[in-house]
Structure 1
Amino acid sequence: MTPPELPPFYYLHNFHQVLHWVQHASADLLEPEHVHCGRGFLLASQPAQALLVRLLMRKGPVFRIDKLRYAEIEDLNAAVQELAACGLIETDPELDLDTVFAVHTVPELRRLFSDLPAAGRKADYQEKISQTHGDQARPFLEWCIDISLQAPMLRLSPEVMHWAQRLQLLFFGNHYQDWSEFVLSDLGLYRYETVVLDQASRAFRHGEDVRLYETLSELRDAQDEANPDHWVQRLAAVQAVETDSDWLQRRKAKTLFQLGQQAERQQWWPLAEQAYTQTTWPGARYRQLRVLERQENHQGAWPLFCQAWLEPENESETQKLLRMLPRMRRKLAVEAPPSVSPSTPASPTQRSDLILFDDGKRVEAQVLAHWDSPLAPVFYVENALFPALLGLLSWDAIFAPLPGAFFHPYQACPADWGNPDFVSRRQGLFDQALSVLDGADYKTVIWQRWQEKRGIQCPLLIWPALDETLIEQALQCIPAQHLQLVFKRILQDWRDNRSGLPDLVRFMPAQQSYELIEVKGPGDRLQDNQRRWLSYFAQHAIPARVCYVTRPELV
């Protein structure tokens, strides 16, 4: 199917949509300079507006005018001059050496600077020019005195850059989504669930929320510092953030965890320990234990280990603690672990071994072809099937318009999707969805959702990996009790348990039964999350096996 052709100014229409949305819903969160930029933009002609939006969608803020080509903007120079007159861009800006080299190719640089050798790398050229010309910012004419070689430049004003960033933040509720979301929607490639939005859905309640969000983003995204003193300042700045916003508190906790990871990579053990101690983000306690181990502080780690052993935050932590326990006992000469140990079912998982020639295909495809038959069809599903069925069954819970979950019409998932409390905030709605499995209507509910929501963005559904036959076979062959067991485990640890599920599913429609198959090729081993799932399947008599593939020995 050929995607629809976009109108010439589609991107300008989308930008106007964002601008109108923000002015209607969050005008009080715009600074005076943002209002000034918006007013100047709206007073400009359509070609000038179009050029500005085009530039905002590109990597800038400096551009060579001779490299700008837009068929819908007939008089580019007139649009440039109009934007300059409005103060939205600057023509002939001062450029530092980094920018000069960034906007020119190597052959162009050789023509601009006659003293460069005929062969060399761009980095070497820049070092030479820095030594001979310096790197202080200056108009381009002072970098290149040959007027015939000059390329007119423009630069987006800092106020315009910050205005566009603020619009993006207030509309999307984050800094990582951009205007491409509109394009994918315009092309019909992405469709989004319709969620009723009101004033309570705003990402930011007041200007202080915006300031704190931007502060946390800057502190998180700063480059890794080689100087630990700078890192200490960043950590102190994050710790100083105080807010009564739940989602900003979660963002603060995650930022502290990320700072701990940065310090750990630098092997600044005391600093990493300090960061992990200050946050409740999942995984921080275990990382703190590992940092204490790295410092050979096993005595100090033991009380924290015992606390985690008695009350593990999830199965993943339990698994890691079991690996750590022998090391701790060996270092501390502890005779026995704490009296209460984590539950570790040791039921055996069925095993199969296949000897298959290497035909260049993935080993999962080989096993699928080996076992697939009309009476027992096999599908490659990995982490697609069970999460999809859960998503269809609990669609209303996932897309519930809770405060701080949905901010705009182009969200593929709630804003708190990756947060530890995603399920707990919607526990009643998920419980209600799973209760449908107690009756006979669950197949109808799932099938109707499949028909109604097909193609709509949902984080639990990988649409290209699903088809009607797979859904029909799953509903026919997988008992409701098994669905409920799998769904409950996913919901128990929303972040970890959506992955690690077996590669293949084999259906036996005549017997209304099925089997899950994890495939391991030569030299491949089970991952931790796969081991946890297989243990759970064995504990609850859910049919699953591991198929190990080896290659025949050539004589």
Structure 2
Amino acid sequence: MISPELPPFYYLHNFHQVLQWVQQVSADLLEPEHVQCDHAFAQASQSAQALLVRLLMRKGPVFRIDKLRYAEIEDLEAAVQELAACKLIEIDPALDLDTLFAVHTMPELRRMFHDLPAAGRKSDYQQWIARAQGEQERPFLQWCARPELQAPLLRLSAAVVHWAQRLQLLFFGNHYQDWSEFVLSDLGLYRYEAVALDQGSRAFRHQEDVRLYETLSELRDAPDEADLEHWTERFAAVQRIQTDSDWLRRRKAKTVFQLGQQAERQHWWSLAEQAYAQTRWPGARYRQLRVLERQEKQEDAWPLFCQAWEQPESEGEAQKLRRMLPRLRRKLALEAPPTAPSGKPASRTQRSDLVLPDDGSRVEVQVLSHWNSPLAPVFYVENTLFPALLGLLGWDAIYAPLPGAFFHPYQACPADWGSPDFVSRRQNLFDQSLSVLNGTDYKTVIWQRWQEKRGIQCPLLIWPALDESLIEQALHCIPAQHLQLVFTRILQDWRDNRAGLPDLVRFMPAQQSYELIEVKGPGDRLQDNQRRWLSYFEQHAIPARVCYVTRPEAS
């Protein structure tokens, strides 16, 4: 596919699109300094606007003017002076040592600092200068008293940087999407599902929501600290956050869980225990039990264990509880609970053994080549086939415009995609989608969606791994009942059950049958989620086997 040629000011057009969106939908969430930047930007010429947006799209905030080259901006110097007059940038800013080294090359640094060794790494030079002159911010001529070596520099104002960040946050509803989304879409590399958006389709309802999101992001993204007091302050700050937004409540619950993981990595057991106890994020209860074990608090762990044993939150938790039970029984000298949690993995899955020489390729590819034939084609699908078929069949449920799900036209998935209640919020819609499997129209529905949605961004569909032959064989050979069973299990635990599916699928078109194959190379073993899937296949008579590959013995 030949990418379209973008017009010269495509990026400025995209920026104006974001500005217009925010002004129409979320103007009340801009702070006074943002409004001032809005006004200053609106009064600037096209060249000055274009230069500012170009800079915002690059890593900054300090830039060398002599390195800026944009063909569409004819008078760069005039644009720089205009932005400076509007106080959107600062010319000849004070520099700290990190920035000084970032914007100059090694030869330039050697000319600026005569005492530097002729050879060495940039980091070594920086440490040397730091010891000699310090690292505090200062104008260039206080670093180097040679005006002829001074490169023209500009810095984006702090207000402009914060304004651009706020625009991105209000438009995208997150910090990880940026202006590249527009470029990828303009080039035709990314396509997104069109979801109906209205005045209520915004991520934040009021200023407090924005502040809470930014606080949670800062606390979540801060690096692990070896300072227990600092961690405690971070945790307390999260706990003080109160909101009536379901979306932000979910984000808070996940942040508390992540802080618990950070504390656990530092072996701050009591704080990790506290964090896990105060969030209902999936996995927190089992992590709390593990932390209690690490503290030798088996008596405190037992009541929580019994609660989980009677009502496990998932098959994965039940599997882990069965492993924990013998340890707790030994420590407490207790009898086992009367009934075991459901979903115990079976061990009756059919097994095959192959001896194949190591040809440098992956064992899955070797097994595929070994068994593949015109009458029984084999495909490497792993976690792509069944989720893709579910995504096509349940497309309308996934992209339903529920409150708090879609904020802008560049979303590959709903905002609550990874949340525990993603499916429950759409249960009726998924039930309607899966009901098509009770008739004969499901193949037509899936094929039509394949043609209509092909290439549109969706986490369940990895388009390069799918082709028409695979979809055609799957719909011909896999019974609707088996699709229903697999889809139902995925939807039961949306977060975990999209993974762990077998590596290969072998079709027998003449018999209208198929077989799933999990491949294990030398020294490899089944993972927990794979065992759970194999147990489910065994329970429902879905054909599956595990193929163990070994190497020939050396002569």
Deviation at 1:554, TM superposition (A): 2.3
CA distance in 2, matches of 1:140, 1:157: 18
Question: In the alignment, which residue of structure 1 is the partner of 2:399?
Answer: 399
Deviation string, structure 1 residues 326-376 (Cα, Å, up to 9, x no partner): 221222222323544434142510111111112222111111111111111
Q: Which runs of 5+ in 2 are unaligned?
A: none
Q: What does residue range 399-418 of structure 1 map to in structure 2 within 5 Å?
A: 399-418=399-418
SS of the counterpart of 2:110?
A: helix
Q: How far has the Cα of 1:51 moved from its partner?
A: 1.1
User: Residue 80 in 1 paired to residue 80 in 2?
Assistant: yes
AA partner of residue 17 (structure 1) = Q
Comparing 516-525 with 59-68, which one deviates more in the overlay?
59-68
Could you tell me how far apart the structure 2 residues matched to 1:105 and 1:338 are?
72
Q: What is residue 371 of structure 2 aligned with on the other side?
A: 371
Q: 1:156 maps to which residue?
A: 156
Comparing 83-92 and 55-64, the one that deviates more = 55-64
Work out whether residues 309 and 342 of structure 1, in 8 Å CA contact, stay in contact via their aligned partners in 2.
no
CA distance in 1, matches of 2:316, 2:324: 13
Question: Could you tell me whether the CA contact under 8 Å between 2:97 and 2:137 is conserved in 1?
Answer: yes
Deviation (angstroms), 1:119: 2.3
Partners in 1 of 2:226 and 2:64 — Cα distance? 35
Aligned residue in 2 for 1:22: 22
Secondary structure (helix, strand or coil) at the match of 2:546 reads strand
Moved more, 448-457 or 477-486: 448-457
Post-superposition offset of 1:502: 0.6
Asked if 2 retains the 8 angstrom alpha-carbon contact of 1:310 and 1:342, the reply is: no
Of residues 377-386 and 326-335 in structure 1, the stretch that sits farther from structure 2 once superposed is 326-335
- Is this contact kept in 1: 2:386–2:486, CA < 8 A? yes
Q: Please give the alpha-carbon distance, in whole angstroms, between the structure 2 residues aligned to 1:105 and 1:532.
A: 56
Alpha carbons 1:389, 1:446 under 8 Å: kept: yes
The CA distance in 2 between the partners of 1:322 and 1:149, in whole Å, is 70
TM-superposed deviation, 1:122: 2.5
- Contact conserved, 1:216 with 1:252, CA < 8 A, in 2? yes
CA shift, 1:484, in A, is 0.3
Look up the SS of the partner of 1:507 in the other structure: strand
Kindly provide the amino acid, as one letter, of the partner of residue 103 in structure 1: V
DSSP-derived class of the 1:335 partner = coil
Mean alpha-carbon deviation: is it higher for 1-10 or for 449-458? Answer: 1-10
SS at match of 1:94: coil
Distance in 1 (alpha carbons) for counterparts of 2:392 and 2:440: 16
Partner of 2:136: 136
Quote the residue 2:305 is aligned against: 305
Partner of 1:361: 361
Distance between the aligned counterparts of 2:67 and 2:363, measured in 1?
48
Taking structure 1 as the reference length, what is the TM-score of the superposition? 0.98
- What is aligned with 1:166? 166
Q: Which runs of 4+ in 1 moved over 6 A?
A: none
Verify the 8 A CA contact 1:503 1:518 in the aligned structure 2. yes
The 10-residue stretch of structure 1 (357-366 or 246-255) with the greater mean CA deviation from structure 2: 357-366
Matches within 5 A, 1:515-530: 515-530=515-530
Give the number of equivalent residue pairs: 555
C-alpha contact (below 8 Å) 1:476/1:509 kept by paired residues: yes
What does residue 479 of structure 2 align with?
A: 479
CA distance in 2, matches of 1:522, 1:122: 45
Q: Secondary structure at the match of 2:184?
A: helix
**For 1:311 and 1:197, how far apart are their aligned partners in 2?**
39
User: Structure 1 residues 289 and 107 mapped into 2: Cα distance closer, same or farther (>3 Å)?
Assistant: farther
Between 147-156 and 540-549, report the one with greater CA deviation.
147-156
Unaligned runs of at least 5 residues, structure 1: none
Per the TM alignment, residue 67 of structure 1 is displaced from its structure 2 partner at its CA by 2.1
Q: Structure 2 matches for 1:100-119, cutoff 5 A? A: 100-119=100-119
Contact 1:325 1:337 in 2 (8 A): no
The answer on whether the counterparts of 1:168 and 1:175 sit within 8 Å (CA) in structure 2 is yes
Letter of the 2:398 counterpart: I
Q: What is the CA–CA distance in structure 1 between the aligned matches of 2:417 and 2:251, rounded to whole Å? A: 12
Counterpart Cα distance in 2 of 1:444 and 1:423: 24
- Say whether residues 1:36 and 2:65 are aligned partners: no
Residue 314 of structure 2 aligns to which amino acid in structure 1?
N
The answer to whether the aligner puts 1:199 opposite 2:199 as a matched pair is yes
The answer on whether the counterparts of 1:90 and 1:157 sit within 8 Å (CA) in structure 2 is yes
CA distance in 2, matches of 1:131, 1:539: 69
Aligned to 2:51: 51
Measure, in 1, the Cα distance between the counterparts of 2:345 and 2:85.
73
Output the CA distance in 2 between the equivalents of 1:7 and 1:357. 55
Please identify, of 201-210 and 485-494, the stretch whose mean Cα deviation from structure 2 is larger. Answer: 201-210
Contact map agreement 2:345 2:531 (CA 8 A) in 1: no
Q: Is the 8 A contact 2:203 2:407 kept in 1?
A: yes
Q: Alignment partner of 2:507: what SS?
A: strand
Deviations 1:130-152 (A, max 9, x none): 22212221111111111121111
**Cα distance between partner residues in 2 of 1:149 and 1:92:** 13
Deviations 1:133-174 (A, max 9, x none): 122211111111111211111111111011001100010010
The amino acid that maps onto 1:451 is: Q
* 1:281 corresponding residue in structure 2: 281
Q: Distance in 2 between matches of 1:96 and 1:452?
A: 54
Query: What amino acid maps onto 1:402 in structure 2?
Result: L
Distance 1:360 1:225 in 2: 42
Aligned counterparts of 2:339 and 2:448: Cα–Cα separation in 1: 50
1:92 aligns with 2:92: yes
Instruction: State the alpha-carbon separation in 2 of the partners of residues 447 and 347 from structure 1.
Output: 36
Q: Which amino acid in the other structure matches residue 424 of structure 2?
A: S
CA distance in 2, matches of 1:119, 1:270: 50
Q: Which residue of 2 aligns with 1:293?
A: 293
Output aligned runs, 1:398-477, within 5 Å: 398-477=398-477
Structure 1: distance between partners of 2:267 and 2:112: 45
Question: CA shift at 1:499, angstroms?
Answer: 0.6
- C-alpha displacement of 1:128: 1.9
In structure 2, the partner of 1:182 is 182
Q: Residue 12 of structure 2 corresponds to which residue in structure 1?
A: 12
Kindly state the Cα deviation for residue 195 of structure 1 after the two structures are TM-superposed. 0.5
SS in 2 for 1:525: coil
The answer on whether the counterparts of 2:345 and 2:532 sit within 8 Å (CA) in structure 1 is no
Q: Do the aligned residues in 1 keep the contact of 2:521 with 2:549 (CA within 8 Å)?
A: yes
Helix, strand or coil at the partner of 2:361? coil
